[in-house]
Structures are given as structure tokens and as C-alpha cells.
Amino acid sequence: MESEVATQGSEVGSRKTEVVTPRLDWAYASSRESTDIVEVEDRYGLFLDGEFREPKSGKYFPTVNPATEETLAEVAEAGPEDIDAAVAAARGAFENGWGTMPGAERAKYVFRIARMIQERSRELAVLETLDGGKPVKESRDVDLPQVAANFFYYAGWADKLEYAFPGLQPEPIGVAGQVIPWNFPLLMLAWKVAPALATGNTVVLKPAETTSLTALALAELTAEAGLPAGVFNVVTGAGATGAELTGHTDVDKVAFTGSTAVGKAIRAQLAGRDTRLSLELGGKAAHVIFDDAPIDQAIEGVVNGIFFNQGHVCCAGSRLFVQENIHDLFVDKLKARLSTLRVGDPLDKNTDVGAINSPEQLEKITELVDMGVTEGAEIYQPACDLPDRGYWFVPTLFTGVAQSHRIAQEEIFGPVLSIMSFRTPDEAVEKANNTPYGLSAGVWTSKGSRILWMADQMKAGVVWANTYNKFDPASPFGGYKESGFGREGGRHGLLNYLKGGGRS
Ligand code: NDP
């Protein structure tokens, strides 16, 4: 590989720095993951009471590979009668033994599911990438290990619930109706299903319309694991199917991850009922870089914060605040780093940024980016060869962004970063908190005291310091303000599924 590096000296405050503009040939030989390991059926039914069944609605919809626009399979669309049947199956399983099974016995099933996920993780990772468009190196190295880890973690709690919350008699709530989005299909499933089963609840899950296949594969896996029929049910479909499930009068607990608009609709739907509810909604996270930060590490953190999973991440660091005296240097380095990102075939193990999940999401990203240009922000996109077919968006930076711009206010849910500056820590806090959301934030500085002060000041459920997008099953995650309420993960995640466990 030929390489040549241009350097340009500059002085920032008291720091001597160097902008390195790589002129490298970044062409990598393709390293494509084989799809032979995955068998996709032509058509999928609903998973009810331990088996796949034709939908009573008689309807099916296609699920498409967003990187090729090819239809992968047809998936059943559950109607009201199907939701009735799924909730009845879950109720039956709850009352016929699962709800009163000793924790040590329940744990064996959850452990078995965790082990089987590990055994089949390559297959599930490829399926996740085929159906959702995310780079296989992410589904393989991030999503699937986290999915298995969440099942292992909650399996471990199943027989220790009386020690988790002293004074609380651990009792399951009953039937949980769970609705999840398309950005981390299996991981969102794991965050919800693992604690629900470990605490003795039964589940009806509605995956997102565009990414049903891995939930259906997991359903098959639970049957192979011998999970009693009706304990875990999957109803596929679009928003109407989700609304049918969340509004069902025999569902005791609703757990929803998705947009703030739909979260509000569900809250209104459940007003006046005693159904338990937890909401994990959108975000517009601030990523704050102080002038004493380790700049090159911070560049990596920012790239991971916004371009991981094409920016389809609720906690994506989509608003970058850089201290004014390092702003230009930081932006130059970020641009140089952007030009090295490989966008394209998600099955290629070299790919950094995969396909946008759906044409609807691509349209939403395009509209907001066009608005950013119209409102006067300066756009930067590296040169990039995109595949002819599929849904793609070039990683994008905006500088000269005003707080009032729509790109600084609204969740874009795509690979688009809005960069602003600040002078003092107080100004950073004020700007960072100027959002209706409150899910996550990031801060980069070499001062420990400033990290603690910032973490205290930022109105966000999770604050990462000198890193970003770090997850662990033992660590709770969730937001406040318009980012929702209730915590998933950790001991807190158990409370969602126990009687007396609070509002969430
Ligand atoms: P949506 O809110 O549109 O959809 C989420 C899920 O709800 C999907 O399964 C969807 O079905 C279903 N749904 C849609 N309408 C209704 C309804 N009226 N009643 C019940 N269910 C319904 O969000 P997206 O799928 O577009 O996901 C992106 C959003 O999710 C972003 O705002 C993101 O921030 C948020 N999110 C939050 C996370 C968190 O932990 N806080 C994590 C991941 C994402 P269908 O897809 O078929 O329309």
C-alpha cells in the first residue's frame, strides 16, 4: 500500500499540535462473511404457544435486505385476533407454572437460552446484518456478545431475587407486552426478555416491522431450549400490531423502546389503567470536548459515538461541543478521520458504516440534512463510493451550527454530526442541557474533578467520561425528560418486572 502523510504544525493554547492529513490508499481486499450459515425461510408465521402458526389475519408483509433491496422473506402480520391468542397463550403459561416456578428452575432455562445464543452467534449475527443493514463486525463483536451476556446476567439473578431488593417480596407481574425498534433488534429483545423471564413473567414481543427475523430465530431457539410453550411469544407486524398489543387489557406490563412520539401515544393509551409501563425513548446526546482532552482518543470516541450503527443509536453523540480554542484543530482531525471510514457492504468485515435501515429512514435523514444546509450550517462529507443498490448515507459533519437549527434540536437517527463550540464549562453545560431529551452524554477532559462536576450537571441518564457507547448488562441504562423513564440493565432492570417495583 502506498502511503504519504502531509503534516502541518500549529499551536493551540500552550499545546504544540500537528494536523496529520493522511493520503493513504485505503482500498482493502474484500473480506465478505458467508451467508451459507443462515437459512432464511420463504415465509414466517407467528410464534404462539411454542409453535409457528399462520396468522388469523391471513396477511403477510415482505422483509427486505436494506443493502441490496432484495426481499428476504415474508413475515406474518398479526391482527387483533392474533394478539388475543398470543396474550392468552402467555396468560396460560404464567398461570400454569411459569409464574410460580422456583427461581433456580427458571434460571436453567434462561442459562440454556444464553448458551444456545453463544453457540449460534455467528448465524444470528449474519441474519441481523442481512435484515437490518448493520456492519457484520458490529453484529458479531458488539450485538451478539451483549445479547448472550444479558441472558447470562439475568439468569444469574433468577434464584437471588429476595437478596436483590431487601424488604421487597419478589413476585412477577404477569404478562409483559414488549415492543422494540429496528436499530438493535436482538439486543433490545435481550434487554427486555431476559429480565422478564428471570423474574417469572411471560412475554409477548413485537419486533420492528423491518427487522423481525432474528426475533423469530430466537423464538425457534427457545423452543429448542425446551422453554415451556406460551412463556415467550412473538407477534410480527407494524405500528398497528404494536398498538393492539400495548392496548390489550390482559397485558399487565408494557415495556416499549422507540420514538418519543409513539411513547407518548402509548402513555395516553394506558392512562387510567393500572398497567405498568416503562419507556426507553429517543435522544440528542451532547458530546463535550474540553481543550485538555486527549484529542486523538476523543476523535475515536466521537466517531464511535455518532457513526456506530450508522448513527441509528438512541444514545448517539449527535451534538458535539468542542472548546473554542481547539475547535478548528479538532474539526480538521475529524474530517481526516472521516475520510478513512469505509461505507458499504455490511457483510464485508472491513465495513465501518453499513446500510440505512429503510427507505423511510433514509428519507428522514435526507430531509433533515437538507434542512441543515438551508438553515445555513456548513456541510462536510468525505468522498465516498456508494453501492448502486440499497439505502446509503455518507457520514456527514455540520459546522457553524446554531442551537436553534433543526439539526441541533431533532433526533436525526443517522450518521450526521452537528458541531458547535463553547468557551467555559458553564456554557458547555447550558448548551448540552438545551434539549427536551435526557438519555446520554459524553465528556472528554483530563481533569477528574471536572468529569465529576460535568456528570452532576448534565441532565442525562447516562454520562460517559473519556469514552462513549460502553455497555454492560450489570449497568442500568435509561433516560429522563422526553427520553422516557424506567431503567433497563443491572439490578434496576429487574424492578420493571416485579410487583411493587415502582412506577416503571
Ligand atoms: P418507533 O417508535 O416508530 O417504533 C418502535 C416500535 O414501536 C416498532 O416496533 C414499531 O413498529 C412500534 N410502533 C409504532 N407505532 C406504534 C404504536 N402506535 N403503538 C405501539 N407500537 C408502535 O421507533 P423506531 O422504530 O423508528 O425506532 C427509532 C426510535 O427508537 C428512535 O427515536 C430511538 O431513539 C428510539 N430508541 C430508543 C432506545 C432507548 O433505549 N432509549 C434504544 C433504541 C431506539 P414498526 O417498526 O413496525 O412501525
In DSSP terms, 8 is beta-bridged to 19
Q: Which atom of ligand 1 is nearest to the CA of 238?
A: 47
**Does 501 have pLDDT greater than 50?**
yes
Question: Which residue from 183, 192, 471 has its CB within 8 A of the most atoms of ligand 1, so it is best to mutate?
Answer: 183
Ligand 1 residue neighbourhood (C-beta within 6 Å): 179-183, 206, 208-209, 238-239, 242-243, 246, 257-259, 262, 265-266, 280-283, 314, 411, 413, 439, 484
For 323, the 3-state DSSP assignment is strand
Report how far residue 429's alpha carbon sits from residue 453's, in angstroms, rounded to the nearest whole number. Answer: 10
Query: 314 catalytic, yes or no?
Result: yes
**Does 36 have pLDDT greater than 60?**
yes
Q: Which atom of ligand 1 is nearest to the CA of 484?
A: 41
CA 15 / ligand 1 centre spacing (Å): 45
**CA-nearest residue, atom 14 of ligand 1:** 239
The model's pLDDT over 178-192, given as tens digits with 9 standing for 90+, comes to 999 999 999 999 999
Per DSSP (E only), the strands in 281-349 are 286-289, 319-323
Residues contacting residue 115 through CB under 8 Å, at least 6 positions apart: 148
In DSSP terms, 26 is beta-bridged to none
147 within 8 A of 113, measured Cβ to Cβ: no
pTM of the predicted model as reported, rounded to 2 decimal places: 0.93
The model's pLDDT over 425-471, given as tens digits with 9 standing for 90+, comes to 999 999 999 999 999 999 999 999 999 999 999 999 999 999 999 99
For residues 374-379, average pLDDT = 97
**CA-nearest residue, atom 40 of ligand 1:** 280
From the candidates 209, 280, 482, 488, which is the catalytic residue? Answer: 280
Report how far residue 194's alpha carbon sits from residue 103's, in angstroms, rounded to the nearest whole number. Answer: 13
User: DSSP characters for 101-135?
Assistant: S-HHHHHHHHHHHHHHHHHTHHHHHHHHHHHH---
**Does 14 have pLDDT greater than 60?**
no
The CA-based angle 409-129-145, given to 5 degrees, is 90
**CA-nearest residue, atom 38 of ligand 1:** 314
**pLDDT given for residue 25 in this prediction:** 66
pLDDT bucket at 20, cuts 50 / 70 / 90: low
For 287, the 3-state DSSP assignment is strand
Share of the chain above pLDDT 90, in %: 91
User: DSSP code of 377?
Assistant: P
For residues 386-413, average pLDDT = 97
CA 132 / ligand 1 centre spacing (Å): 14
The model's pLDDT over 208-257, given as tens digits with 9 standing for 90+, comes to 999 999 999 999 999 999 999 999 999 999 999 999 999 999 999 999 99
Q: Give the three cell numbers for residue 254.
A: 408494557
In DSSP terms, 320 is beta-bridged to 287, 419
Return the higher-pLDDT residue of 15 and 135: 135
Kindly report the average pLDDT of the chain as a whole number. Answer: 94
Query: 315 catalytic, yes or no?
Result: no
The CA-based angle 410-411-414, given to 5 degrees, is 130
**pLDDT given for residue 4 in this prediction:** 40
**pLDDT given for residue 480 in this prediction:** 85
**Does 324 have pLDDT greater than 90?**
yes
